Copies of this chain bind each other. A is one copy, B any other.
């Protein structure tokens, strides 16, 4: 391959740019996964991750993609034919629903237009209608990576509480964890799903479940076949920092470092930084006059901004051109947004000047691709950031 000068801007909404400190932590000799030294590593990761999820309940770490943690949430708590409530908030919500179907669950998928989050009122209606409590789980995606829409998880919890419905609340935090405030215990979530390669700043390869006492109880009744994803053996081994099968040691070194970095910066600062950078991206988008996929300002995502192109323009062409001429990767339109929307990732180990470069790449790309837009998006973003930093 020919050398491309300068740093590549990996501005897809995950995997994100892995900071050198984490890459270097991973670049270390493997140790015996049954040694005391490993036990300390495992324990620090498991404990630290609880703080990131803001929970006192156990957290599970899988050597797998986050897709695996979706499956784990379901197979540990449910049984064949169980009914689950899902919401078509976007591509990943759909994929998770498909995982549920693949596993033999009966999925009640509330249709959506991919521009709004979970509608708590619809949740309330559905739950009210479910007199026999057939619904065993409500599956919500906290931050829908394909659309840049954040769902109001506490409102969903509120609907469950109001309806006095015993269904488990399952939340996908894959692209929100470590970037957008997520309060597992306070929000009353039963099973959360997370991954390493977004706000956690690691390469892909680790996934997480955060549990609740009710989820643990449900796991005793669940009869879906499972082995790799079984919480029981995991929890037993985890108590001393170990794992029931060979863990991905290298990535655990990285996870420990990532947790330390998030703690050094402080979670509130991490969330505020993401909020500031995201708003700057939206300021640019408004100036360009490109329509956001997300329609509801209270649901704007602080990790990714998905923008619709005017009719007749293809996001694939725009992204290819930007990759070729400006050495930046942007997120593609997924599912029904394919061809129509592109996505700017602004999460993880990210700062003002990286965002400036990113937005500059988009603005130059729009011009080079002939996409009609108002100039000055970068300028507007910089003015916003300058005010915020003053």
Complex Cα distance A261/B4, Å?
9
> Is the beta-carbon distance between B10 and A228 smaller than 8 angstroms?
no
> Is the beta-carbon distance between A30 and B2 smaller than 8 angstroms?
no
> Is the beta-carbon distance between B30 and A10 smaller than 8 angstroms?
yes
- The 0/1 profile, CB within 8 Å of B marked 1, for residues 353-384 of chain A is 11011101101100110000001101100110
> Is the beta-carbon distance between A65 and B248 smaller than 8 angstroms?
yes
Q: Is A386 on the interface with B (CB-CB < 8 A)?
A: yes
- The 0/1 profile, CB within 8 Å of B marked 1, for residues 294-332 of chain A is 000000000000000000000000000001011111001
Number of interface residues of A (CB under 8 A): 102
> Is the beta-carbon distance between B356 and A360 smaller than 8 angstroms?
yes
Residue of B nearest to A227 (CB): B102
Q: Is A16 on the interface with B (CB-CB < 8 A)?
A: yes
Q: Which of B27, B103, B386 sits near A367, CB closer than 8 Å?
A: B386
7 extra A-B contacts, CB within 8 A, seeds A8-B29, A12-B32, A357-B357: A3-B264, A6-B354, A7-B354, A24-B28, A35-B323, A66-B245, A225-B225
> Is the beta-carbon distance between A353 and B358 smaller than 8 angstroms?
yes
> Is the beta-carbon distance between B264 and A2 smaller than 8 angstroms?
yes
The chain A residues found within 8 Å of chain B, CB to CB, are: 1-10, 12, 14-21, 23-24, 26-35, 37, 62-68, 71, 75, 80, 98-99, 102-104, 195, 197, 203-205, 224-228, 230, 245-251, 261, 264-265, 270, 273, 323, 325-329, 332, 349-354, 356-358, 360-361, 363-364, 367-368, 375-376, 378-379, 382-383, 385-386, 389-390
Known: A65-B63, A389-B364. A5 touches B350 (CB 8 A): yes
> Is the beta-carbon distance between B24 and A26 smaller than 8 angstroms?
no
> Is the beta-carbon distance between B204 and A247 smaller than 8 angstroms?
yes
Residues of B within 8 A of A197 (CB): 30, 246
Residues of B within 8 A of A225 (CB): 75, 80, 102-104, 224-225
A333 to chain B, nearest CB (A): 11
A369 to chain B, nearest CB (A): 10
Residues of B within 8 A of A250 (CB): 26, 203-205, 250-251
> Is the beta-carbon distance between A349 and B30 smaller than 8 angstroms?
no
Complex Cα distance A80/B270, Å?
47
Q: Which of B18, B34, B251, B354 sits near A29, CB closer than 8 Å?
A: B18
Residue of B nearest to A351 (CB): B6
Complex Cα distance A249/B12, Å?
14
Residues of B within 8 A of A99 (CB): 227-228
Residue of B nearest to A367 (CB): B386
Complex Cα distance A227/B103, Å?
7
> Considering the complex of A and B, which 10 residue pairs feature the smallest CB-CB distances, nearest first?
A6-B351, A356-B360, A205-B248, A357-B357, A353-B357, A203-B250, A102-B227, A27-B27, A67-B245, A32-B329
Complex Cα distance A328/B353, Å?
8
A54 to chain B, nearest CB (A): 20
Residues of B within 8 A of A34 (CB): 12, 332
Residues of B within 8 A of A15 (CB): 30, 33, 246, 249
Pick from A15, A203, A327 the residue with the most CB of B within 10 Å.
A203
> Is the beta-carbon distance between B356 and A385 smaller than 8 angstroms?
no
A104 to chain B, nearest CB (A): 5
Complex Cα distance A250/B16, Å?
12
A73 to chain B, nearest CB (A): 12
> Is the beta-carbon distance between A375 and B379 smaller than 8 angstroms?
yes
Residues of B within 8 A of A27 (CB): 23-24, 26-27
